[in-house]
Amino acid sequence: MNGHSNGVNGHNELNGHGELGANQKGCWTIGLINSKFRYLTAETFGFKINANGASLKKKQVWTLEPASGGDSVIYLRSHLDKYLAVDSFGNVTCESDEKDAGSRFQISVADDGSGRWALRNVVRGYFLGASADKLTCTAKAPGENEFWLVHLAARPQVNLRSVGRKRFAHLSENLDEIHVDANIPWGEDTLFTLEFRADDGGKYALHTCNNKYLSREGKLAETCTPNCLFSAEYHAGMLALRDRAGGYLSPIGSKAVLKSRSNTVTKDELFSLEDSLPQASFVAALNGRYVSVKQGVDVTANQDDISNHETFQLEFDNSTKRWYIRTMQDRYWTLESGGGIQAAGDKKSSNALFDLVWQGDGSVGFRANNGKFVATKRSGHLYANADAVEEPSKYFFYLINRPILVLKCEQGFVGYKSPQSPKLECNKASYETIQVERSEKGVVYFKGQNGKYWHVDGEGVCADSDAQEGFFLELREPTRICIKSVTGEYLVACKNGMFRLGDGSYENATKWEY
């Protein structure tokens, strides 16, 4: 299994990349949708289960865990940490903390090209189905009631790693293909949005950072056509993506071009989905230049453009609530004895930890382990010698590997109120992909897929403007950002699904999962 896993919200220290793992290899978090397009639901009280859920929220999320006995034998665990099982009378239950023989299911994929799954209880030999308000396990062969669509509940923006090649997918230099030959997922071109398309029969589309879709022939298309739709299959904890003709995506040839070829699944057709950690660039307020490690170990604000040398991965340390700042060469920013900042640390030490201290003007200060703030010298070199965040110790922040943003809060995803409306709400089951345009001094503009910019007023947020309105992004937690207008108010989510500008205090701001 190459030590990689997928699912959601876990964080392993494998190769320093966060992973979509529920802290265990091969775990996925999913929703299961029946033929009436209702989700399998574990109610909070009385351990009742049904298939009445209208959308994928907390009660509809299941953790799929690998079990012994074959690469497609699994357990299903509810959000209450109880296991779905079938008892000796054929009743479907979900109230045990323990895995037992009756809780093992085997996945088989429908051969009608729909990508739907059937779940056969290993002990009973019957298939799991849903009828009216209850779940059944009485069918010897799967019928319409026993087929389930799979809705991956992982954060939809991921890095894609080939199991066979042990390499990551990235956008090709010509911006027209996906190549699977990157050693590490660095920069915006390794970010992909795995879009669940309910209206297309629960299939998936692979959306690239340049706003295109991968087609089965290996070329990128401007719009999502039937050739850009794939069904998701589970194989021993890994993902295979199957096109409408039955071919599986895999890296082909010396360039490792991602396209469909084989009709069978080997290591070459398997992928793990891995959490895309935040990668950022910083502009020094003092001289307007990007912080860089292009010249070697010294961290210096002296570049006019962004390349891999000006892109840094931010890795959160849970115990101290501070951040490691990592370079593409696998080195960490480190406080040296004279106060200088060098990209010299090859292991994580306390001198490689920094506080991110956000300022009212959208800039950030870095507090080093000596208690001083990092400041830019006239030469561009960075030294931790400032007592406060003033002009030399301010840096403007750009979240580089999110040129397309998907936003989520406790109510749900940010998406359109209706297909015809430009009004955005934050309680949607499906998301809108938001284009992020960079401007100067850390300012970004948000643009809808309709080509219109976000406009915010007392009524809420609409993607209906030709004029740009500026925002700052503040990285507050490993998976959450705050969004602040250039006038200083934070974007807040309301219980009714509206979201709008609130006040200027971070305490009242919504922490958006991105």
**pLDDT digit string (tens) for 14-35?**
233 333 333 456 788 899 999 9
Residue 81's alpha-carbon distances to 48, 94, 97, 215, in angstroms, are 13, 9, 7, 38
Percentage of residues in the chain with pLDDT exceeding 70?
95
Spatial separation of the C-alpha atoms in residues 294 and 276, rounded to whole Å:
24
Per the CB < 8 A criterion, the answer to whether 469 and 447 are in contact is: no
> Does pLDDT of 10 surpass 80?
no
- For residues 115 and 22, the model is more confident at 115
* pTM attached to this predicted model: 0.83
Terminal-residue alpha carbon distance, the chain: 28
pLDDT of residue 50: 95
Mean pLDDT of 484-497: 93
Minimum mean pLDDT range among 132-136, 229-233, 374-378: 132-136
User: Maximum CA pair distance of the chain?
Assistant: 78
Q: Please state whether beta strands 73-77 and 62-66 pair in parallel, antiparallel, or not at all (unpaired).
A: antiparallel
- The residue-averaged pLDDT of 433-462 equals 93
Predicted confidence (pLDDT) at residue 168 exceeds the cutoff of 90: yes
At residue 88 the predicted structure's pLDDT band, cuts being 50, 70 and 90, is: confident
Backbone torsions φ then ψ of 350, nearest 5 degrees: -65, -30
**Contact indicator for 265, 148 with CB cutoff of 8 Å:** no
Residue 232 identity (one-letter amino acid): A
- Contact assessment for residue 93 and residue 138, using Cβ atoms and an 8 Å cutoff: no
pLDDT at 386: 97
Q: What is the mean pLDDT of residues 223-229?
A: 97
CA distance 310 to 294: 8
pLDDT of residue 421: 92
Which whole number is the average pLDDT over 460-475?
96
* CA atoms within 13 Å, Cβ hemisphere of 43: 11
Q: Which two tokens mark 436?
A: 């992020």
Residues 89, 126: Cα–Cα separation, whole Å: 12
Model pLDDT, residue 24: 58
> What's the burial of 378, exposed, middle or buried (CB within 10 Å: 0-12/13-18/19+)?
exposed
Beta strand 395-399 with 382-386: parallel, antiparallel or unpaired? Answer: unpaired
pLDDT digits (tens, 9 = 90+) for 402-435: 988 999 988 888 999 998 899 999 988 788 899 9
Helix H or strand E encompassing 14: none
Sign of CA dihedral 16, 21, 22, 27: negative
pLDDT value, residue 4: 31
Question: What is the chain's mean pLDDT, rounded?
Answer: 90
pLDDT value for 25: 66
Contact 323, 298 (CB under 8 A): no
Whether the predicted pLDDT of 147 surpasses 80: yes
